[in-house]
Amino acid sequence: MSATENPTVESIAALIDHAILKPELTDAEVESDLDLAGRWGVFSVCVRPSDVPRSVARLAGTGVATGTVIGFPHGSTSTAAKTAESRRALEDGAAELDMVLHIGRLRSGDLAAVTDDIAAVVAVAEGRIVKVILETAFLTDEQVVAGSKAAEAAGASFVKTSTGFAGGGATLHHLRLMRDAVSPAVRVKASGGVRGLDTLLQMRAVGVDRFGTSATETILTDVQRLAETGSTSGATDASSY
């Protein structure tokens, strides 16, 4: 993988969904983060649903896509609420949807309900990318595998580790489980705790295709430093996402 073997700012930025999801963010703070994403040329931003119109307008012409979250962060809203939220997000200009599956139903073993819930959002998306957040910190290995397989059965484009708000983030162990559980047609997104280039490269090497992080500037500054000096700073971002 070229991004792993010879990372450049462009190749790593193309893997990043810059997360702008903290509930306390002000309008000015959201706009500052959107501008940061535009400057670095990341693949996309992942914003709160109410910020989708602002993001689409502010990032127009930058090539940075706008994504948003559905059923976030708990996943326990009804399927009807998730589909309504999805429709509105798409009407507002969202290009991708990161939905939280029903964690309690997955832990209960009700895979039919979990699959149907995901499939309903996939249907509303009409071919747009849907990423399914498992919230791996709450799951056994068997549940991680089952949730990943349910996401693929429902037609999702990605399986994703975490919201970043559950006290645990992406781990190499869970990422390997997810990658092995789904076919090559389904991609894997790591989120929660991706705060430096070394971590990102380790995860990329086990098959991760996209990264949700608020530490974009730290990571991409590390790429620049690596090119200049051959080493990274090891700095971390204090964000939970």
Confidence category of residue 27, pLDDT binned at 50, 70, 90: very high
Confidence category of residue 229, pLDDT binned at 50, 70, 90: confident
82, 131, 149, 160: the catalytic one is: 160
98, 131, 149, 222: the catalytic one is: 98
Q: Is 189 a catalytic residue?
A: yes
How deeply is 155 buried, as exposed, middle or buried, from its count of CB atoms within 10 A (0-12, 13-18, 19+)? middle
Which pLDDT score, from 0 to 100, does residue 167 have? Answer: 82
82, 131, 149, 189: the catalytic one is: 189
How deeply is 49 buried, as exposed, middle or buried, from its count of CB atoms within 10 A (0-12, 13-18, 19+)? middle
Q: Class of 2-227 per CATH?
A: alpha beta
- What's the whole-model pTM score? 0.93
Q: Is 222 a catalytic residue?
A: no
Q: pLDDT digits over 130-176, tens only?
A: 999 999 999 999 999 999 999 999 999 999 999 999 988 899 999 99
Q: Is 98 a catalytic residue?
A: yes
